[in-house]
Amino acid sequence: MFQTFEVTARPEQGPPRLARLRETMRAAGLDGFLVPRADAYQGEYVADHDARLAWLTGFTGSAGFCAALPDVAGVFVDGRYRTQVKSQVADVYTPVPWPDRGLADWLKEQLPDGGRVGFDPWLHTVAEVTRWTEALSGSEIEMVQSANLVDTIWEDQPEPPSNPVKAHPLEFAGQFAAEKCAALAGELRKAGHRAAVLTQPDSIMWLLNIRGSDIPRNPVAQGFAVLHDDGRVDLFMEPAKLAGVRDHLGAAVTVQAPDGFLDALAGLTGPVRLDKASAPQKLADVLGAAVAFGDDPCALPKARKNAAEIAGSAAAHLRDGAAVVELLCWLDAQPPGSVTETQVVTRLETCRRRDNALQDISFDTIAGTGPNGAIMHYRVSEDTDRRLQDGHLLVLDSGGQYLDGTTDITRTVAIGQVGPEERMAFTRVLQGMIAMSRLRWPRGLAGRDIEAVGRMPLWLAGQDFNHGLGHGVGAYLSVHEGPQRLSRLSTVPLEAGMILSNEPGYYREGAFGIRIENLLVAQEAPDLPGGDHDRAMLCWRTLTFVPIDRRLIETDLLSAAERGWLNAYHAEVREKIAPRLGKAANVWLDAATAPI
């Protein structure tokens, strides 16, 4: 049910594929070509048809790109993947720490005499191309739009996905699609925009109350749409996908074949809104003078979950929490050395599949023990599968796509007797997670303003981690959803109804990893007794209810407030999850949630 074919390059395939790409570059009169981990829709996950970076290099992370030049091929990866990339790419590729090292600076170093670097304008956003142009100004390097050269050498490239679309029930959506379209059309009129081009599938899914399965783990269908200022929608998607939802879409939605999209854009009367952060450069070129850059009109309304979406997510988390507890109970009964990472993944997916509302897992389960746990987005394979040995930690990061909500949870579990160094680091991570969970903050602050709260205990020990503290999460949509984030880069003010993860961690390459993750929903903070209440505040409501491994906590390091939060949280876990468990798991849960 959950298996998917993965496009990748074995180490021995990397060099000949790179050599063929270089031959094609020379024939095209190019000195370089960019191969991003992206498709025309700029989602985090791509279909097999669009997995060009993995096919060329072997790198399977969810972000990054390759810049192939005649004598060097840089694979640019951020902090999450700097351990992973070393084990995946052949030595003909050079890992580049990104964004610490920008593409423009790297190109100027590698091509000091200038050159022509090609890129596919469907696979790079307007914002990306603008940054390159500005950063390369004054150099002799020219960025050249090109056909996709990888597609010309990829002989067995899979076909684009074309899976059927289904209606998303109103009981889970919480609002009719026509109401959403009318509200957003009103916002377009206020801004003086005649239309908005929607390029991200999850925006289209949310707006029209539909869901798809073109991308594994993400309930989206690939396509584009134009929302007009009178509420009409032109949907550019393979008509066969939509055969079962024509009545659901209604008369205000006109379905057109994707090959007519560019002609339709060229015929629009401006101003036409286009989001430069997510729209392909190709679309800006076609719109020309009609373009008016602005945010995707669906982004913030989608992020601000309504009452039905929040209720559905909360319900999904309770069922999901019970599945994870059943797994943890089983795991604790297995002697150290008797279970592999693969067996943990399989068992957890079996526990989740008992829920008929489960449609898929929300991402490929991460189950990394020992040094594998230090690979932040590790995915077990036959070559890397390890047994869970005494003294090791297991990082277990997983989630489910349910009809009523999307879940994402990480727990770090002790295998046998774990050393003091691991327990000290775990406790600091826990303190950061608790600090963010307890936070109240003034309305108007963004993720960058508060995310340091979750890092402070690690910082005090001279430690940190190379990923954001948290990401937005959809309502039976993408498990990583913008625009809100708990990140030093995020300027989007947090608002009531936004669901985010809270996931501090710590990773020691070659030794162990630690991460603890709950999902939280922002809400209006109640007044405190005796307070002056001179400004509106927000706070978090926790959605995830699964025990945190008490065996890994150095309790003497916890303050009274931290201890109180943990005991109250575990009492709530026991209250909410116990009625959903079998007898053995209930006995385990009582011990796992005992007060400290």
pLDDT in tens, 469-524: 999 999 999 999 999 999 999 999 999 999 999 999 999 999 999 999 999 999 99
Do both 283 and 314 map to the same domain? no
- What confidence tens digit (pLDDT) does each residue in 113-130 have? 999 999 999 999 999 999
Where residue 153 falls (left for φ over 0; alpha for ψ -120 to 50; beta otherwise) is alpha
Do both 281 and 226 map to the same domain? yes
The amino acid occupying position 68 is: A
- What confidence tens digit (pLDDT) does each residue in 425-443 have? 999 999 999 999 999 999 9
For the chain, give the percent of residues with pLDDT over 90.
91
Among 1-10, 40-49, 182-191, the minimum mean pLDDT is found in 1-10
Do both 433 and 539 map to the same domain? yes
- Which pair of tokens denotes residue 356? 């008929």
- Are 452 and 489 in contact by the 8 Å Cβ rule? The answer is no
Closest to 34 in 3D by CA, of 66, 57, 61, 58 = 66
Residue 500 has a pLDDT of: 98
- Which pair of tokens denotes residue 337? 């050395």
Which residue, 249, 276, 299, sits at the end of a domain? 299
Q: How confident is the model at residue 245 (pLDDT cuts 50, 70, 90)?
A: very high
The amino acid occupying position 38 is: A
- Which pair of tokens denotes residue 378? 């590790």
- Which pair of tokens denotes residue 516? 């603890």
Query: Is 363 strand, coil or helix?
Result: coil
For the chain, give the percent of residues with pLDDT over 70.
99
Give the count of domains, the chain.
Answer: 3
Where residue 497 falls (left for φ over 0; alpha for ψ -120 to 50; beta otherwise) is left
Which residue, 118, 153, 188, sits at the end of a domain? 153
Do both 270 and 317 map to the same domain? no
Partners of 411 in the β-ladder: 396
Do both 345 and 240 map to the same domain? no
CATH of the domain at 67: 3.40.350.10
Do both 376 and 523 map to the same domain? yes
Whether the bond between 99 and the residue before it is cis, its omega within 30 degrees of 0, is yes
Domain range for residue 109? 14-153
In a domain, 543, yes or no: yes
- Beta strands in 14-84, from DSSP E residues, in sequence order: 32-36, 65-68, 73-77
Do both 43 and 129 map to the same domain? yes
Rounded Cα distance between 586 and 579, Å, is 8
Q: Is 83 exposed, middle or buried (0-12, 13-18, 19+ CB in 10 A)?
A: buried
Closest to 161 in 3D by CA, of 35, 248, 43 = 43
Do both 130 and 173 map to the same domain? no
Do both 103 and 211 map to the same domain? no
Do both 102 and 238 map to the same domain? no
Do both 285 and 235 map to the same domain? yes
Residue 349 has a pLDDT of: 97
- Are 96 and 85 in contact by the 8 Å Cβ rule? The answer is no
Q: What is the pTM for the complete model shown?
A: 0.94
Mean pLDDT (whole number) for 243-249: 96
- Are 240 and 257 in contact by the 8 Å Cβ rule? The answer is no
Do both 385 and 426 map to the same domain? yes
- Which pair of tokens denotes residue 382? 């036959």
- Which pair of tokens denotes residue 360? 């898929």
Which residue, 265, 280, 299, sits at the end of a domain? 299
Residue 99 has a pLDDT of: 86
Residue 120 has a pLDDT of: 98
- Are 78 and 466 in contact by the 8 Å Cβ rule? The answer is yes
